[in-house]
Amino acid sequence: MGGKRRRGWLGPAIAVAPGARVDRFEVFFDLVFVFSFFIITRATAVDVNGTNLLHALLVLAVLWWSWVVHSVVATRVRLGEGFVPALMTLGMAALFTFALALPQAFRDPGENAAGPMVAAVSYVIIRFVHLALYLHVVWDSPNERRQLRRFAPELVLSTLLLLAAALIPAQVQDPGRAALIRDGLWATVVLLQYSTGLIAGTWGWNVISAEHWTERYDLILIIALGESVISVGVGSNLLGQPPTWPAVTAAILGIFFTAALWWVHYDWVGPAARIALHAAQGGPRVSMARDAYAYLYLPMIAGIILFALGAEGIVHEIADPHIPLADRAHGADVPLLFGGVICYLCGNMLFQLRTLHTVTWLRVGTVLLLGACIPVGERLPGLAALSLLTAVCVGLVALEVLIMGDARDALHEVVVQERTTHEATEAAYRARWHGPEPGEPST
């Protein structure tokens, strides 16, 4: 009785319907995740080396797990209704603080102990908000509460490990050993989180709206691609000096190959996977949602950040009037650029394999070609290397349009029919708003 009364103070949480779509508050919340992606890219771009790339991937993995938990909560409750936006705003504030502290999370503990602690405490608050909201929603469902308890060790241990990563290294005198302990604790958090998702299984979970789940992840991937464009434009300093034809050409090439990568997923793989998730039911649907979206979107997001770093470095050199245009691209820019696209394509192919049980050999060949292009690109000027990558990505899209024309047309026809039927149903429902006023005869 007391539990019901306490829950009544908060009011009801509006359940997600089977045909639910993403609401506006969810997109608003995503803006903070976009900022986090931007911060990871910016902090890594200051000094691109193996250690910083490792730190960026560790932070991204922990951040992505919080996104996965967030998306699971959103499968049960509308985040933009009732009391939920107030609670989620607290989570947004904590996530924003977490993002701001990320550049300091891996600094020398002797120089700055506050940054790692702010990041750890902010993360604890984010997870607590998600836990409190989900517990409120499933309180009357014994099965879901039992499943939630199976994830409790991950929640407790991961937050404790991040707090330990903030506190213990500061007590170690040897900086190298302190850094090793800190990195090891973060890596343990990542291993704990993603292995728990596999070990705990799918029993007790349910993806009520396949449409909401797929749209949620498709939107965050689009936002990540858009953030990469912003990162290249802002980080390359094109805004801080007069534009030149090489710099403008490089910027246009960046848009072209990013658009090609958008096409790779959203032309047919994404829509076909959405239909496959709709067709699945029960445990198979939850398993597909976990494997394909929660897990395999991560390498695609990581690939976006990596190729954004490489493209930014190359465009920065092209735009710099003090660097001859014929000079080779410096440092790790070309491996990051081509390697990031390879990572993105591999993640997308695994996503296709998990959802559609097919492999496109043209894409396998493209990945092999991109790998072979890395040593070639390292010997080319930056603009030529960027042109080579763009030609390969655009060429992949063009060949798929030619080779898979009939299959693409059939899929697009199904999608259009589905959308048309859905819109007709909505229009019929809303037609009653234009019905006769009370007392007026109907026609």
- The residues spanned by each domain of the chain are 1-205, 208-427
Q: Does residue 180 register a pLDDT over 70?
A: yes
Name the least confident of 31-40, 141-150, 324-333: 141-150
Q: Which residues pair with 245 in a beta bridge?
A: none
Q: Does residue 83 register a pLDDT over 90?
A: no
Q: What are phi and psi of 328, to 5 degrees?
A: -65, 155
Whole-number Cα distances in Å, 230 to 205, 237, 251, 271, 305: 37, 11, 11, 26, 12
| Nearest Cα residue to 156 out of 187, 127, 116, 182 | 127
pLDDT digits (tens, 9 = 90+) for 295-343: 999 999 999 999 999 998 898 888 887 888 888 887 899 999 999 999 9
Q: What are phi and psi of 15, to 5 degrees?
A: -70, 155
| Nearest Cα residue to 296 out of 256, 341, 345 | 345
Report pLDDT for 122. 92
Across the chain, what does the average pLDDT equal?
Answer: 86
Question: Which band of pLDDT confidence, cut at 50, 70 and 90, is reported for residue 5?
Answer: very low
Q: Does residue 192 register a pLDDT over 80?
A: yes
Report pLDDT for 436. 63
Instruction: Give the helix/strand (H/E) hosting 373.
Output: helix 361-378
Q: Does residue 244 register a pLDDT over 90?
A: no
Question: Which band of pLDDT confidence, cut at 50, 70 and 90, is reported for residue 204?
Answer: low
Q: Which residue has the higher pLDDT, 40 or 80?
A: 40
Q: Does residue 438 register a pLDDT over 60?
A: no
| Nearest Cα residue to 227 out of 39, 22, 23 | 39
Supply the DSSP string of 36-73, one letter for each residue: HHHHHHHHHHTS-SHHHHHHHHHHHHHHHHHHHHHHHH
Report pLDDT for 10. 53
Q: Does residue 196 register a pLDDT over 50?
A: yes
Q: Does residue 366 register a pLDDT over 90?
A: yes
Q: Does residue 4 register a pLDDT over 60?
A: no
Q: What are phi and psi of 77, to 5 degrees?
A: -140, 145
Contacts of 95 (CB under 8 A, 6+ apart): 32, 33, 36, 66, 122, 126
How is residue 337 written in tokens? 């650029």
Report pLDDT for 3. 41
Three-state DSSP state, 236: coil
Average pLDDT over residues 369-397: 95
Name the least confident of 303-307, 329-333, 365-369, 383-387: 329-333
Average pLDDT over residues 228-250: 76
Distance CA 365, CA 263 (A): 17
Identify the top-confidence range among 150-154, 337-341, 419-423.
337-341
Name the least confident of 163-172, 213-222, 228-237, 280-289: 228-237
Report pLDDT for 359. 94
Question: Which band of pLDDT confidence, cut at 50, 70 and 90, is reported for residue 151?
Answer: confident
Percent of the chain with pLDDT strictly greater than 70: 92
Distance CA 293, CA 44 (A): 26
Termini Cα distance of the chain: 53
| Nearest Cα residue to 70 out of 281, 221, 225, 213 | 213
Query: Half-sphere exposure (CA, 13 Å, Cβ side) for 431?
Result: 7
Distance CA 333, CA 389 (A): 12
Q: Looking at residue 307, what DSSP letter applies?
A: H
Three-state DSSP state, 424: helix
Report pLDDT for 167. 87
Answer for the pair 138, 208: CB distance below 8 angstroms, yes or no: no
